[in-house]
Structure 1
Amino acid sequence: MLSRLAGYVVATSAAFTVACAGPSLAQESEPDVTLRFQHFVSPLSANPSHFMGPWAEAIEEQSGGRIAVEIYPFMQLGGAAPSQYDLIRDGAIDGGWVIPGYQPGRFPEAEALELPFMTTKSGEEASRAAWHFTQEFLMDDFADVHVIAAHMHGRGLIHVDGPAIQEIADLEGLRLRGPSRPATLLLERLGATPVGMPVPAFPEALARGVVDGGVITWEMSPSLRLDELVQSHTDVAGDRSLYNLYFIWAMNREVYEGLPEDLRAVIDANSGMMASAWAGRAHDIGDADGRAAMAAAGNQIATLSEDVTEEIRALGDAVTQAWIDEVSARGLDGAALVEAARRYVAEEAGTGTVPLTD
């Protein structure tokens, strides 16, 4: 298992050379501005392939080559995934991909979107809802960076190095990776032992037996080599995702505001709802590819029965109520946050453009 993990590191490190070069090398003359963006996953995974890279190309093309965008995977510019927001704020990098939930408690309002069964299984639909929610509730939280997009991934599943989950009792005692506080709260209610960790640590934790599995998307499965590291993948029934994760694609505020007006307009034209939906759609494309790859590898793919799903949903409702009570005690209106998140998700249901595969 460790030898396969080593092979993964070599392969993805080689891919970094290509990805880091990015579209900027195609410019025939020196750009006026070079922006260095950073993320923490493989350049071959869905969001870098279908959103970040094309977004950089659009910025370069629409600026007439005056802006170059370099995108660095695997935190190659330094720091760790949980510190990404501060790296952007402090100007260590010009921009990048942030999971606010990697710093539990710092951005509590964003957790409303991550609660169990909150979003549909479409990343695009969830991301449209996330942009609305961000505009209403989160811009003050992110005031010291410039938010380009706010988005969610697609469906979140349970991946286990063992048989597929069939009932809640099958989760008892399993050590399962969770990406956020709401996800780990749900895993705990399900009887598992939650282990919070960012996605870069997940493959090694599986290979070393630190965890028995975890919750993550289809689209990340190939780049994490889950076809080799786990045996089964289990989804819940219905059109709602077991959990979800909130992201922002953001720039250093001073760098953004320091751009000439016409170049800021290029960034603005590739920001907001269109960029958020674009980022979520990238996950949906990757989900279809990831599921196909796991099926081709012979891994077990399962969907829980409606009855078991309803049992889990009831536990998820308890997580949501406990979350409302907790954040309300801290001075936030938890019920209003949950109501708004549900409203925006309902409004955007059916707007996804990538067919979902069960």
Structure 2
Amino acid sequence: MTSFRTFTLKSTFSTLTAAAALAVAASTAAAQEVTLRFQHFVSPLSANPTYFMAPWAEKIEKDSGGRIKVELYPAMQLGGKATSQYDLIRDGAIDGGWVIPGYQPGRFPEAEAMELPFMVTKSGEEASNAAWVYTQKYLMDDFADVKVIAAHMHGRGIVHKKGGPIATVADFKGLKLRGPSRTATRLLDKLGATPIGMPVPAFPEALSKGVVDGGVITWEMSPSLKLDELTDSHTDVAGEKSLYNLYFIWAMNKNVYDGLPDDLKAVIDANSGFHASGWAGHAHDTGDVVGREKMAASGNALAELSEEETAKIRTLGDEVIAEWIADMTAKGLDGEAMVRDARAAVSVTRAQ
């Protein structure tokens, strides 16, 4: 017969063994290693991947003590289309990535307020700080099925084209120009151009085949798209405001984020938000300097429109804004409030 003492020892041993197993499991969970696959749709040598995405991934790894590794896949290497990035993240096909909501026209209409003509300054960092503030008020519900890490804008938008630079509004007439968003293509149409909407990866081929005569895009994207070879001139508007801009989010799959232990969630959270958004925008500013220098070194013409001609474009831009407000009203949204709050976000963040 088993003695009470023997039974107690066995029971105690079993309890200690179970406790040790739990401790090991807890330790394993605490030391959980996670690999996150983030995808984007441009060259790894372009500004945002170079000056934001790669440093952000390195910081996540460092801050997590090596427990989170972020792998970056450029040029849609994991599959899918640039226009479907949001759904790829939401559905878990990828763990995270870079999204241009405007690539799905009408799906995220409130984001378009930040993209309206002459809405933001030519500083990507300032524009991105404003984008994060605006996003908190208007877009977090729309993006509720992903984890938004940053909401940002690029730097100044430039007209790049074959042939000489734009000197007057009349020079836009008849040009086939690539536009990245509804608001940008509306403005190009007002200017007398034939706007052709397309994502950035399609732009170089469209130029080389003569599908377009040029398009609007940033300085920083120019080298990776070989615009020094495919175009001859680059024209900016006068003043501190950008001709157009584009709204982006850097986001991850919500279930993947929710599945992280709390201390690793804290690492993601600490590298998200206002600061991360400004960092992403600053990456574009850094790239703009490099891109402009590369275009100048190629011998291409760099130009800036006069104040008078810029004022004419601003008047047309105001028409685009008024029409956009009317569109939002028809959708049951308060377009006037969105424009007002977008402008306020730009003003407030500039003053900080």
Does TM-score exceed 0.5, indicating one fold? Answer: yes
Q: Secondary structure at the match of 1:349?
A: helix
For residue 262 of structure 2, what is the aligned residue in structure 1? 261
**How many aligned residue pairs are there?**
322
State the alpha-carbon separation in 2 of the partners of residues 66 and 322 from structure 1: 50
Contact 1:110/1:246 (<8 A) preserved: yes
1:297 and 2:284 matched: no
State the alpha-carbon separation in 2 of the partners of residues 329 and 181 from structure 1: 16
1:346: Cα distance to partner?
A: 1.1
1:263: Cα distance to partner?
A: 0.4
Contact 1:125/1:350 (<8 A) preserved: no
State the alpha-carbon separation in 2 of the partners of residues 297 and 349 from structure 1: 34
Deviations 1:62-101 (A, max 9, x none): 1111111100000000000000000000000000000000
State the alpha-carbon separation in 1 of the partners of residues 81 and 201 from structure 2: 9
For residue 328 of structure 1, what is the aligned residue in structure 2? 329
Q: Secondary structure at the match of 1:247?
A: strand
Contact 1:31/1:68 (<8 A) preserved: no
For residue 96 of structure 1, what is the aligned residue in structure 2? 97
State the alpha-carbon separation in 2 of the partners of residues 276 and 302 from structure 1: 30
AA of the residue aligned to 1:116:
P
Runs (5+) with no aligned partner, structure 1: 1-29, 352-358
AA of the residue aligned to 1:329:
A
State the alpha-carbon separation in 2 of the partners of residues 350 and 189 from structure 1: 32
State the alpha-carbon separation in 2 of the partners of residues 326 and 263 from structure 1: 42
CA RMSD of aligned residues (A): 0.9
For residue 55 of structure 1, what is the aligned residue in structure 2? 56
Deviations 1:206-258 (A, max 9, x none): 00000000000000000000000000000000000000000000000000000
1:31: Cα distance to partner?
A: 6.9
For residue 20 of structure 2, what is the aligned residue in structure 1? none
For residue 113 of structure 2, what is the aligned residue in structure 1? 112
Runs (5+) with no aligned partner, structure 2: 1-30
State the alpha-carbon separation in 2 of the partners of residues 139 and 226 from structure 1: 36
State the alpha-carbon separation in 1 of the partners of residues 222 and 165 from structure 2: 16
Which residues in structure 2 correspond to 1:164-179 (within 5 Å)?
164-179=165-180
For residue 308 of structure 1, what is the aligned residue in structure 2? 309
1:342: Cα distance to partner?
A: 0.4
State the alpha-carbon separation in 2 of the partners of residues 35 and 244 from structure 1: 29
For residue 27 of structure 1, what is the aligned residue in structure 2? none
Q: Secondary structure at the match of 1:53?
A: helix
AA of the residue aligned to 2:54:
G
Contact 1:175/1:194 (<8 A) preserved: yes
1:349: Cα distance to partner?
A: 2.1
State the alpha-carbon separation in 1 of the partners of residues 261 and 79 from structure 2: 28
Which residues in structure 2 correspond to 1:221-232 (within 5 Å)?
221-232=222-233
Report which of the two structures shows the higher radius of gyration computed on alpha carbons.
2
Which residues in structure 2 correspond to 1:12-161 (within 5 Å)?
32-161=33-162
1:275: Cα distance to partner?
A: 0.4
Q: Secondary structure at the match of 2:251?
A: strand
For residue 220 of structure 2, what is the aligned residue in structure 1? 219
For residue 188 of structure 2, what is the aligned residue in structure 1? 187
Deviations 1:324-350 (A, max 9, x none): 011111100000000000001111226
1:308: Cα distance to partner?
A: 0.2
Taking structure 1 as the reference length, the TM-score comes to: 0.89
Deviations 1:51-70 (A, max 9, x none): 00000000001111111110
State the alpha-carbon separation in 2 of the partners of residues 292 and 350 from structure 1: 29
For residue 239 of structure 1, what is the aligned residue in structure 2? 240
The sequence identity of aligned pairs, in percent, is 72
State the alpha-carbon separation in 2 of the partners of residues 61 and 336 from structure 1: 41
For residue 342 of structure 1, what is the aligned residue in structure 2? 343
Contact 1:31/1:65 (<8 A) preserved: no
State the alpha-carbon separation in 1 of the partners of residues 208 and 116 from structure 2: 29
Q: Secondary structure at the match of 1:97?
A: strand
State the alpha-carbon separation in 2 of the partners of residues 224 and 307 from structure 1: 31
State the alpha-carbon separation in 1 of the partners of residues 81 and 162 from structure 2: 27
State the alpha-carbon separation in 2 of the partners of residues 206 and 225 from structure 1: 10
Contact 1:157/1:233 (<8 A) preserved: yes
